[in-house]
């Protein structure tokens, strides 16, 4: 009679471990908080030096160009039901030969609605995201609750034509208003 209980106990233990360690075996990367997000310092060198990509977000996925527009006054708002919402960067299906195996080694995030301090506090901000490349989880990103740039670096991943980078929202910092989370900008780092 004891044998049928073992699979149940094992399943309960696995579920408890998953709740205690939601990233599983993924590396957990803490944000390196840097300088304030200011319009005068938007843009610069990034993975865009190698090629452009299409950015979509939400469920169902809709174009999200404001995530990569070098504008500190615009932001992408997740859907009202933001849980497990994903931001996707789709690389072109054809790349010049010199862009094959392009290094991707980090990203910078301007988290929240940066416009004014009131906007920042009123809207929710992202607390955790899972980074995946071509459907394979790479790392759990833990963002700080700040209006400054947050940098993440990881082992270099070679990117090629048609590759897909995805960021899935896990947790948020709630805002004063019942607004879904906002991200002002995401800069993919690599290409050099």
Write out pLDDT tens, residues 28-53.
Answer: 999 999 988 887 777 766 777 777 88
pLDDT digits (tens, 9 = 90+) for 57-115: 988 889 999 998 888 889 999 988 888 789 999 998 877 777 788 899 999 999 999 98
Q: What is the reported pLDDT for 187?
A: 92
pTM of the predicted model, to two decimals?
A: 0.82
What is the rounded distance in angstroms from the CA atom of residue 138 to the CA atom of residue 15? 21
| Residue 5 confidence (pLDDT) above 70 | no
Show the domains of the chain with their CATH numbers.
Answer: 26-190 (2.60.120.260)
In our burial notation (b when 16+ CB lie closer than 10 A, e otherwise), range 132-159 reads: bbeeebbbbbbbbebbebbebebeebeb
**What are the tens digits of pLDDT across the range 156-180?**
999 998 999 999 999 999 999 888 8
Length of the chain equals 192
């Amino acid at each position: 009679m004891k044998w049928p209980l073992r699979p149940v106990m094992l399943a309960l233990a696995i579920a408890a471990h998953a709740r205690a360690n939601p990233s599983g075996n993924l590396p957990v990367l803490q944000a390196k908080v840097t300088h304030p997000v200011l319009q005068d310092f938007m843009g610069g060198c990034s993975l865009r030096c190698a090629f452009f990509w299409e950015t979509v977000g939400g469920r169902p996925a809709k174009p999200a160009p404001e995530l990569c527009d070098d504008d500190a006054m615009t932001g992408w708002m997740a859907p009202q039901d933001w849980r497990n919402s994903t931001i996707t960067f789709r690389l072109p299906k054809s790349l010049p030969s010199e862009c094959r195996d392009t290094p991707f080694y980090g990203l910078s995030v301007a988290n929240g609605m940066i416009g004014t301090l009131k906007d920042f506090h009123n809207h929710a901000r992202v607390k955790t995201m899972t980074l995946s490349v071509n459907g394979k989880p790479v790392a759990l990103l833990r963002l700080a609750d700040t209006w400054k740039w947050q940098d993440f670096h990881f082992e270099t991943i070679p990117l090629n034509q048609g590759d897909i980078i995805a960021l899935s929202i896990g947790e948020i910092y709630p805002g004063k208003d019942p607004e879904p989370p906002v991200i002002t900008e995401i800069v993919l780092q690599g290409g050099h």
